[in-house]
Amino acid sequence: MDFLQLDLPLIWAVLIAVAIMMYVLLDGMDLGIGMLTAFAGDEDERNMMTATVEPVWDGNETWLVLGGGGLFAAFPLAYSILMPAFYLPVILMLAALIFRGVAFEFRHKAVRRPTRLFWNGAFYGGSFAAALCQGIILGGFIQGVTVEGRAFAGGALDWLTPFSLMVGFGVVAGYVLLGACWLVLKTEAELQAKARRWATLALVAVAIGFAAISLATLSIDPRVTERWGFSMTHLEPGKLLPLGLIPLAGLALTLALARDLVTGSAKAPDWRPYLLAAGIFLSGYLGLAVSLFPWLVPFAFTVHETAARDNALGFMLVGAAIMLPVILGYTAYVYSVFWGKVKPGDGYHSA
């Protein structure tokens, strides 16, 4: 195969973006459910909630490894600048994911009340902290990092700004929305009604949060505003109108989801809220891509400037071209094995 004709860095940028999107949609939902377990009525309900994702969370989290590993493999320079730049939030996120991950198992093992409470807390606390850190990292990424030569040259707390905190809470709200919508799909009766209420509240927060983040992003750098087709002085309808469809789609999906959540199962199928929530995330993600492309280390290095050698990208692309369809195939298979409502009897009984 002749790789010279392919724009390999661009292909890999898209692949990694897809991996991160998969992570957000799948593990974001796990983290959202994790946070919501803090509001479960009792231990049975909490166990029902975790049972909706227990067989799949591990695979879901693997997309994060593909995102991180893929960044190292395909864009080593970006990886080697961004990781030190977000040193503390990355490591806090990892620590939070450790607690969340083992708590899936450990909370069922704890026989004494204090330890069980500890692992329950580790589960929702870890989920919250991981989501918040991911949002803060995203916020720090959007606002750009200080670079000198080929290395990060900023301070240890550069990432900590009102903007990054705002994105942090936006991501938290978004994950809660995804998690609540998954619960609408996987549960029935009382818990499902609760999940609808949670989803409605989260949707309000998401609508406000995403809108605020979008507007703030426009003011981050003149190049971003330029990209969307306007600035302080002029307006380019030729750019703004087609691109404006993305936030409009997001708005339409938000309204559709609001309607579904209000009308309930009678009129809206249970699978639709999750899909609509995923659509809202997708619109936000596309908007972000429009704002930041081609920067991979905003606003210092582009996708092409940070890419690994073409022979490395080509070698990996062969593997990805074969393996990604296979992975998506068996992921779908595993989801289909565990398809359907989680029954109260499936939940965890306390002794």
Q: Which of 178, 150, 202, 207 is nearest to 276 (CA)?
A: 178
For the bound state, the minimum distance from the C-beta of residue 136 to another protein, rounded and expressed in Å, comes to: 15
For the bound state, the minimum distance from the C-beta of residue 165 to another protein, rounded and expressed in Å, comes to: 20
Residue with tokens 């990054």: 164
Nearer Cβ to another protein (18/212): 18
For the bound state, the minimum distance from the C-beta of residue 159 to another protein, rounded and expressed in Å, comes to: 12
For the bound state, the minimum distance from the C-beta of residue 30 to another protein, rounded and expressed in Å, comes to: 12
Q: Which of 277, 85, 258, 268 is nearest to 178 (CA)?
A: 277
Nearer Cβ to another protein (166/312): 312
Nearer Cβ to another protein (225/331): 331
For the bound state, the minimum distance from the C-beta of residue 167 to another protein, rounded and expressed in Å, comes to: 20
For the bound state, the minimum distance from the C-beta of residue 125 to another protein, rounded and expressed in Å, comes to: 12
Nearer Cβ to another protein (88/235): 88
Nearer Cβ to another protein (65/248): 65
Nearer Cβ to another protein (84/229): 84
For the bound state, the minimum distance from the C-beta of residue 90 to another protein, rounded and expressed in Å, comes to: 6
Burial class (CB in 10 A: 0-12, 13-18, 19+), 129: buried
State both tokens at 329: 């195939």
For the bound state, the minimum distance from the C-beta of residue 142 to another protein, rounded and expressed in Å, comes to: 19
Nearer Cβ to another protein (262/323): 323
Nearer Cβ to another protein (39/348): 348
3-state secondary structure the chain: CCHHHCCHHHHHHHHHHHHHHHHHHHHHHHHHHHHHHHHCCCHHHHHHHHHCCCCCHHHHHHHHHHHHHHHHHHCHHHHHHHHHHCHHHHHHHHHHHHHHHHHHHHHHHCCCHHHHHHHHHHHHHHHHHHHHHHHHHHHHHHHCCCEECCEECCCCCCCCCHHHHHHHHHHHHHHHHHHHHHHHHHCCHHHHHHHHHHHHHHHHHHHHHHHHHHHHHHCCCHHHHHHHCECCCCECHHHHHHHHHHHHHHHHHHHHHHHHHHHCCCCCCCCHHHHHHHHHHHHHHHHHHHHHCCEEECCCEEHHHHCCCHHHHHHHHHHHHHHHHHHHHHHHHHHHHCCCCCCHHHCCCCC
Distances (CA, A) of 324 to 17, 25, 199, 279: 14, 17, 31, 22
For the bound state, the minimum distance from the C-beta of residue 219 to another protein, rounded and expressed in Å, comes to: 29
For the bound state, the minimum distance from the C-beta of residue 177 to another protein, rounded and expressed in Å, comes to: 23
Pairwise CA distance, residues 243 & 46, whole Å = 42
Nearer Cβ to another protein (61/270): 61
Nearer Cβ to another protein (195/203): 195
